[in-house]
A and B are shown apart, each in its own frame.
Chain A
Amino acid sequence: MTTDVIEQDSHDEHHDDSHEHGKMTGIKRWLYTTNHKDIGTLYLWFAFIMFLTGGAMAMVIRAELFQPGLQLVEPDFFNQLTTVHGLIMVFGAIMPAFTGFANWMLPMMLGAPDMALPRMNNWSFWILPFAFAILLGSFFMESGAPNFGWTFYAPLSTTYSNGSTAFFVFAVHIMGISSIMGAINIVVTIMNLRAPGMTYMKMPLFVWTFFITAYLLIAVMPVLAGVVTMLLTDTYFGTSFFDAAGGGDPVMFQHIFWFFGHPEVYIMILPAFGIVSTIIPAFSRKRLFGYSSMVYATSSIALLSFIVWAHHMFTTGMPLFGELFFMYCTMLIAVPTGVKVFNWVATMWRGSLSFETPMLFSIAFVILFTIGGFSGLMLAMTPVDFQYHDTYFVVAHFHYVLVTGSLFSIYAGAYYWLPKWTGHMYNDTLSKWHFWCSLISVNLLFFPMHFLGLAGMPRRIPDYALQFADFNKWVSIGGFAFGLSQLIFLAVVIKCIRGGEKAPAKPWDGAIGLEWTVASPAPYHTFSTPPPQKDIDNADQHEH
């Protein structure tokens, strides 16, 4: 195995020299690049900067909620903060971070020279900073930033808009263009650029999850574009799609929005499944348990995601048949999700486990994501949801799946591949500090929210009744601690880029995958010629 690695390295270096273009220097390298690794890096840094920006807003929110009464910010500004916090975390942090992983890893995992459409890849990225400049810029405009919640329900965003709707709509439009082009690139790369001999069922599960996620994106981002367009015409051009006086229906907004929105939440979790399914086998020194069932489970979740949207709207007065249909379909999703959780546990079962930081984040993911899944099941029950709807229970639920789910998987993946990306090992002690501080503070932050919600504290409010004060104090302390803990990660990454122990081509003894057959850091161009068949066979995640 070692000799293979060396052969491959020298081979790639040789090829790198003969390639017609290398890196450009300075800012031009990043502005004009067509290299999947450069673009991946851009996506990841952008996502992290947005994460800190959205996080700073969360800090203000938690500071305001530290004790009852209005302390720091005006209620209207509080609404702007919750709205933009949500939009940034969904569209600016989690989604671009996953796209960054896709860009960095897919060509290397598939044995491809680059993404299929490299120039379009660059375009997809560079639209994003501009889109978020518009969104964040609206804080400094006369109208203020959007204040109608990240779900921008009509008529809050139409009749009662503070005037920020137009900027919001056009920012979402160009974000959507970026996402669709990124997703098309991912699908085409996977369908067309697999190395010869890599059949669909030999692809790493990581690739499968991004494949399915990209399909979801292509299917639903245009629906988002459609619904914001109707929002725009309702607000500014006199249409009444979401206004009963003209024959429309505000509830129709919610239907169309959640037809986008529910697949969207799987867009933010399926890639996490792929990352965790890569890491858990590596540190269990076993192959992934039930590879095929993982592929089918992921596909089932994706298909089901199209017929469950109205579980977000149980309290809107849907016909009874609708409530029951959406309740049962939603609960069905627990089946393929359960398959996954059991497969991860079975992969660890009797494995030779070690607990490096990527593994710690992955195990935390399995446990805490499952908690988020169970609270999701509670919310799926129509009569129960009547009680929980729009309370902090919902906030607790989706932060468990998005923070301890998606975000933890992103950390796991970042620690796992940082040696490959930078050529250095990260500082192990600091990374463990990051993990344990995050783990403890995140539970202090989000777990008590369940109790607050069950006791009836509504979400999206700047003030609350006195009986919620104690829990909110602890939640805020957890929030500040969690926010500060993320700066440890920034320190780890900067130290890792600047230096540290030299990483071998394959720093994890149990890792499999084509990315470990090339040097660390990965050469600027990898796999200009396809990898040998035996490397592809070695990378197969099936149990033997």
Chain B
Amino acid sequence: MTNKEYESYYVPNQSHWPIVGAVALFMIAFGAGNYVTDLSKQESGYGGYLLLAGIALVVYMLVGWFSDVINESLAGKYSHQMDNSFRQGMSWFIFSEVMFFAAFFGALLYLRVFSIPWLGGAGNNVETGAVLWPEFKAIWPLIKTPDGTTTTAMGWYGLPLINTVLLLTSSVTAHFAHSALIKNNRSQLKAWLGITILLGLAFMFFQVQEYAHGYSEEMRLFLDSGVYGNTFYLLTGFHGMHVTLGCIMLIVMWLRVLKGHFTPENHFAFQAASWYWHFVDVVWVMLFVFVYIL
């Protein structure tokens, strides 16, 4: 019988955080629904405030929930098996994020491989091209849409290249921070993690610059500039949101390191934030290749 070696699995007490989180998500969804609906009618309503209140409540919930978890962890209530549950949970969460981006990359590839050539008359669509939009040229980046909206393509050199270097470097420094944690070298850990955060913030800064450049009169690359602008802003935008989230995670980890949390054996939260950061980095490499270069 294996009972001897069995560590008991911690089943937490009742908690009010989940219901707070559910109410917060309701406020976000209902608020955003109202906000967007009002926006389309050019009216103003309470939707935006509800949305912001919901976001504030989510932040409050996350802080409370995570501090409960951190306290339980510091109190030594978590077994090795519990740690495994967290790790596996985080891995599957990242997998779900991969699939979320896959939907947008799938859309990008479909547009480039099928819909734009077909609009230009490829395959058995000769009539479509000739009758609907005879002037339309099937090229990528699509700088002129079938209905005549024009725009400019964002080059891969300059800011995007700098950002690629920044983010790739930050993945390496995140790895150094993790190694330092395992070697229990706290000062190196603080330094490398700090550098990672700075690189992430720099990336976000340049991303904002790039958007400002895109929206300038010179480029006129807008969210609604046909499918090139659509895919460009949706993909880089969702990536940017994930970088922001990743940065917040890393900053929280840095603060926890300053407070003396994490040991070489026990640092799930740090590991999770670092996995997330690497994931964000890999998505950027895909973006750089498929959105900017090709």
Contact = CB atoms under 8 A, between A and B. Distances in A.
Contacts of A120: 18, 89
A386 B168 CA distance: 51
Contact of A166 (B26, B37, B92, B229): B37
A221 B102 CA distance: 12
A130 B29 contact: yes
B147 A245 contact: yes
Interface in A108-132: 112-114, 116-120, 122-123, 126-127, 129-131
B81 interface: yes
A247 B120 CA distance: 10
Contacts of A177: 25
Interface in A206-238: 218-223, 225-227, 229-230, 232-233, 235-238
Interface stretch (A191-199, A273-281, A508-516): A191-199
Interface in A240-281: 240-241, 244-249, 251-252, 255-256, 259
Contact of A256 (B17, B32, B34, B106): B106
Contacts of A529: 3, 6, 8
B12 A166 contact: no
B95 A238 contact: no
A382 interface: no
Nearest to A184: B92
Nearest to A189: B85
Given A174-B26, A184-B92, A223 B114 contact: no
B227 A530 contact: no
A237 B233 CA distance: 12
Given A119-B12, A166-B36, A32 B3 contact: no
Q: Which of A229, A248, A249 has the most CB of B within 10 A?
A: A248
A163 interface: yes
Contact of B89 (A116, A122, A223, A229): A116
A362 interface: no
Interface string B74-115: 000000010011001100110111111111101100110011
Nearest to A532: B1
Contact of B97 (A21, A167, A187, A222): A222
A226 B36 contact: no
Contact of A113 (B9, B18, B26, B103): B9
B123 interface: yes
Given A130-B29, A247-B116, A256-B107, A233 B146 contact: no
Contact of B18 (A114, A119, A185): A119
Contact of B103 (A223, A236, A240): A223
Contacts, number: 243
B21 A131 contact: no
A170 B32 contact: yes
A340 interface: no
A208 B130 CA distance: 54
Contact of B230 (A32, A169, A233, A245): A233
B85 A116 contact: yes
Contacts of A143: 37
B245 interface: no
B65 interface: yes
Nearest to A530: B6
Given A133-B26, A163-B37, A259-B106, A119 B15 contact: yes
A80 to B, nearest CB: 16
B103 A21 contact: no
Contacts of A244: 115, 119, 132, 146
B234 A248 contact: no
A173 interface: yes
Nearest to A179: B96
B188 interface: no
A245 B106 CA distance: 20
A319 B110 contact: no
B115 A248 contact: yes
Contacts of A112: 9
B17 A119 contact: yes
Interface in A176-192: 177, 180, 183-185, 187-188, 191-192
A134 interface: yes
Contact of B145 (A188, A193, A230, A245): A245
B49 to A, nearest CB: 16
Contacts of B17: 119, 123
B71 interface: no
B11 interface: yes
B249 interface: no
Contacts of A192: 81, 84-85, 88
A525 interface: yes
Given A240-B145, A246-B226, A247-B119, A131 B29 contact: yes
B110 A218 contact: no
A167 B124 CA distance: 39
Contacts of B208: none
Contacts of B70: none
A255 B22 contact: no
Contacts of B1: 532-533
A249 B15 contact: no
Interface in B251-282: none
B15 A32 contact: yes
A240 B106 CA distance: 15
Nearest to B100: A222
A533 B3 CA distance: 10
A28 interface: yes
A264 B89 CA distance: 21
A239 interface: yes
Contact of A219 (B25, B39, B99, B124): B99
Contacts of B132: 244
B288 interface: no
Nearest to B229: A239
A171 interface: yes
A248 B37 CA distance: 23
A491 interface: no
Nearest to B228: A247
Contacts of A167: 30, 33, 37
27 contacts: A20-B13, A21-B13, A33-B14, A34-B14, A119-B18, A122-B18, A123-B21, A127-B21, A127-B25, A127-B26, A131-B29, A133-B26, A166-B32, A166-B36, A173-B29, A174-B29, A184-B92, A193-B9, A222-B96, A226-B102, A226-B103, A238-B224, A239-B223, A249-B114, A252-B114, A530-B3, A532-B1
Interface of B: 1-3, 6, 8-9, 11-19, 21-23, 25-26, 28-30, 32-34, 36-37, 39-40, 65, 81, 84-85, 88-89, 92-93, 95-104, 106-107, 110-111, 114-116, 118-119, 123-124, 132, 142, 145-147, 149, 222-224, 226-230, 234
Given A188-B92, A241-B227, A249-B111, 18 more contacts: A24-B14, A117-B89, A169-B33, A170-B30, A171-B29, A174-B28, A184-B89, A192-B81, A222-B103, A223-B106, A233-B230, A239-B223, A246-B147, A252-B115, A255-B106, A530-B2, A530-B6, A533-B2
8 smallest CB-CB distances across A and B, nearest first, come from: A226-B103, A238-B224, A249-B115, A123-B18, A130-B26, A222-B100, A126-B22, A32-B14
